[in-house]
Structure 1
Amino acid sequence: MLGRMTTRDPRAARLARLTALIADETRAACLLALLDGRAWTAGELARHAGVAASTLSEHLSRLVAGGLLAEERQGRHRYVRLADPRVAQLLEDLAAQVAPEDTGRPRNLREASAGSALARGRTCYDHLAGRLGIAVTDALTARGLLRQDTGFALTDAGMRWFDAVGIGLPPRGRRPLARGCLDWTERRPHLAGVAGAALCRHALDAGWCVRIGSERAVKVTAAGERALSELLGIEAAALR
């Protein structure tokens, strides 16, 4: 009896190439660092990953060729960033599968402080995450501005709220207006998508939040505490 002919799914080869790109600790460290939404130089990433510049350059070339990173050159500097929001979503979803208790205890006070800052508030590519992101998401939901019962969606009241606050919502294109992104420290979804990105950008531009350290941690300012209290009823203690 002749063996049965099988047709291999064409996505299998692409998936294998993608996972091979991520399945390297140095490349994974670079990808996670770039979740802060900014462009980094090759030298900055080399220092962050703890490898030689020449070694890092080879890794970056593979990530660019594989479509995970986009590259820009300014003079002698080579900048890289995540290719698009879909790459950021993939990385955050994968990172969320690693429970905090599986990441190991901090080796020193500096690591402990950095970890605490990231858990308190950070950017997840281009939207707010950590306890800050969850607090904002919960407040939007409690006020009927965001729905989570059938997936994330802004309500009509939510659309009016964004407009009243002065947070412009650009054309969506292929990106959803609102979606849930599983928070890897809180183990609950926070607001992402076009609305999440616009809210984060406004929070930084308006001085509600400031970036701290070299990681993607953010801290709510006194002005931010007042604004989030007035606009969403979030208590200051929940933001510290």
Structure 2
Amino acid sequence: MADETRAAICLALLEGRAWSAGELARITGVAPSTASGHLARLLEAGICVTERQGRHSFVRIADTGTARLVDLLASHAIPDRDAAHAVPVVDPPDPLAGARTCYDHFAGRFGMAVTDAMAERGLLRTEGMFELTDAGREWCARAGVDLAYRGRRPIASSCLDWTERRRHLGGVAGARLCALALRLGWVAREEGGGRALRVTAAGERAFGELLGLTPDLWH
């Protein structure tokens, strides 16, 4: 993360998809040989792994634990005001820009709408490291978001959004809220699977009641 190009590659990989070296070279604005050199160091460090599809080779983040570590480093290394200059600009196909999952939590315009609404209502502190307030924990309990967790993952963490260039809610709270919404049918996977989400009519009502969200925030 100390090198600007290597950091940009890591942030692109955080989206969860696998990239070719050529694609990463284009979005970071460097020569393919330069991108390959950075990828070699990331592979050697165990941050990335390779996947082959026929004759083509792709790289992705090694696992969710590594992704969370990169998320945490990025949240400290790249302040919100500078994020637009630090992250490669990639125009994702709709509906990925509207609503999607980033590993196990909400991302895209919908993910940012949830994060912003929680911050505006005093449920989430977003300066520095993300942290649920006491009111936020009470809100989670009322909404049915189970925060019980015995692992080392933080209850709330920030994740730099690939398309919005801002930090959205991750951690246990983000993952459990996403899981709850999927289970109750507030959001649904778009046809064909993948990360794209559709906020259902039930979800529009639920998030409207819980956080005052309106569909124009993610459409």
Check if 1:237 corresponds to 2:216.
yes
More helix by share: 1
Query: Relative to 1, partners in 2 of residues 1:184 and 1:209: Cα closer, same or farther, differing over 3 Å?
Result: same
Check if 1:228 corresponds to 2:217.
no
Check if 1:211 corresponds to 2:200.
no
| Structure 2 CA distance for aligned equivalents of residues 166 and 82 of structure 1 | 32
Q: Could you tell me which residue of structure 2 aligns to residue 122 of structure 1?
A: 100
Check if 1:90 corresponds to 2:70.
yes
- CA-CA distance at 1:88 after TM superposition: 5.1
| Structure 2 CA distance for aligned equivalents of residues 157 and 149 of structure 1 | 17
Q: Could you tell me which residue of structure 2 aligns to residue 185 of structure 1?
A: 163
* Secondary structure, counterpart of 1:123 in structure 2: strand
TM-score, structure 2 normalization: 0.65
For structure 1, the residue ranges without an aligned partner over 5 or more in a row are 1-14, 24-28, 37-44, 50-62, 70-80, 107-113
Whether the 8 Å CA contact 2:100–2:108 is kept in 1: the answer is: yes
- CA-CA distance at 1:85 after TM superposition: 3.2
- CA-CA distance at 1:196 after TM superposition: 0.8
For structure 2, the residue ranges without an aligned partner over 5 or more in a row are 21-42, 50-60, 79-83
| Structure 2 CA distance for aligned equivalents of residues 182 and 227 of structure 1 | 25
- CA-CA distance at 1:203 after TM superposition: 1.2
AA matched with 2:212: G
TM-score, structure 1 normalization: 0.60
* Secondary structure, counterpart of 1:117 in structure 2: coil
Whether the 8 Å CA contact 1:139–1:233 is kept in 2: the answer is: yes
Whether the 8 Å CA contact 2:123–2:133 is kept in 1: the answer is: yes
Residues 108-144 of structure 1 deviation map (CA, whole Å, 9 limit, x = unaligned): xxxxxx6121111111111100000000000111111
Query: Relative to 1, partners in 2 of residues 1:170 and 1:209: Cα closer, same or farther, differing over 3 Å?
Result: same
- CA-CA distance at 1:172 after TM superposition: 4.7
RMSD: 3.8
Larger Rg: 1
Q: Could you tell me which residue of structure 2 aligns to residue 99 of structure 1?
A: 88
Q: Could you tell me which residue of structure 1 aligns to residue 32 of structure 2?
A: none
Aligned length: 177
Residues 142-179 of structure 1 deviation map (CA, whole Å, 9 limit, x = unaligned): 11111112421100011011111111113152111111
| Structure 1 CA distance for aligned equivalents of residues 118 and 14 of structure 2 | 28
